[in-house]
Amino acid sequence: INAEYMGTLSECLFFFDTLPSCEMHPYRKSSSRSSGRPSGRSLRQPPAIREDLVMKISGQNNVHTTAGAISQRIRSGESILSMDAAGPNSVNQAIKSMFVAREFLVDDGLDIYCTPDFVSPGDDSGLSTAIRTTVEARPALPPREARGVVIKVSQNSQPKAVAGAIAHNIRQRCQCAVTCAGAMAVNNAVKSIILARRYLNGDDVDIMFQPSFPSSEENIIHLVLHCQ
């Protein structure tokens, strides 16, 4: 375990009893293990989305309206779409919209899986980077009980340290989820997942997430991680 995230592992991990489906698929280890830092290799790239079809999310977006737009586009045949969000409030609204879209698609037998990355915001927001989340629709899997590790992220968490903790647990083939509450914490959590994707490049594994709100913790978002 790298020293840069040893503190994160000791301070913010605990075991959970139940979460929505959190299946960790087997992956092939490379002959040279990554040290936990980006290897310089290219991440898995989903099919390119035309820029005019990318959904732009702001901090003022109505969650249910955005979720309705996501689910409608999926029902109309778009199995992959992208959402751009710049800044904590926008990212928070985007994540909530993805969760509500999952609920809207239950009767269609569909679910969504989310892969985040950094992009240029391409607007006058004043921010140097935005987060683009590629949303992929797949047949829904039956829910099942899962056990694993939850990484608690706060507004003060360092994304690089959290990313190291995520990468460590994925390498140990642990089922893993990130939990956060509040726009700043959600933003840090998504950034951590992006960085963890880079840390895992040398392991021939990539990760995506599904947002979930445990019924007993309405203000807490769980980002359940899946390997691919």
155 vs 201, higher pLDDT: 155
**Does 28 have pLDDT greater than 50?**
no
Which has the minimum average pLDDT: 55-59, 143-147, 200-204?
Answer: 143-147
Q: Which helix (H) or strand (E) holds 223?
A: strand 221-227
Average of per-residue pLDDT across 82-90 = 95
State the pLDDT at residue 204. Answer: 87
**Does 214 have pLDDT greater than 80?**
no
Out of 49-58, 170-179, 192-201, give the one with best mean pLDDT.
Answer: 192-201
Average of per-residue pLDDT across 75-86 = 92
Out of 1-15, 30-44, 138-152, give the one with best mean pLDDT.
Answer: 138-152
State the pLDDT at residue 13. Answer: 41
217 vs 1, higher pLDDT: 217
Specify whether the backbone of 114 is left (phi greater than 0), alpha (psi in -120 to 50) or beta. Answer: beta
Listed residue (107, 131, 129) closest to 194, CA to CA: 131
State the pLDDT at residue 50. Answer: 72
Under DSSP, is residue 69 helix (H, G, I), strand (E, B) or coil? helix
30 burial (CB, 10 Å; 0-12 / 13-18 / 19+) is middle
For 86, 164, 193, the CA distances from 124, given in Å and listed in that order, are 10, 32, 26
State the pLDDT at residue 14. Answer: 39
In angstroms, the CA 94 to CA 131 distance is 10
Residue 151 has phi, psi (to 5 degrees) of -105, 115
Q: What's the token pair of residue 56?
A: 């732009």
In angstroms, the CA 187 to CA 69 distance is 22
The answer to whether the beta carbons of residues 157 and 185 sit under 8 Å apart is: yes
Confidence band for 44, pLDDT divided at 50, 70 and 90: low
Q: Which residues pair with 12 in a beta bridge?
A: none
Q: Which residues pair with 208 in a beta bridge?
A: 226
State the pLDDT at residue 8. Answer: 42
Confidence band for 225, pLDDT divided at 50, 70 and 90: very high
Only one residue has tokens 């995520």, namely 166
Under DSSP, is residue 177 helix (H, G, I), strand (E, B) or coil? strand
**Does 191 have pLDDT greater than 90?**
yes
State the pLDDT at residue 5. Answer: 37
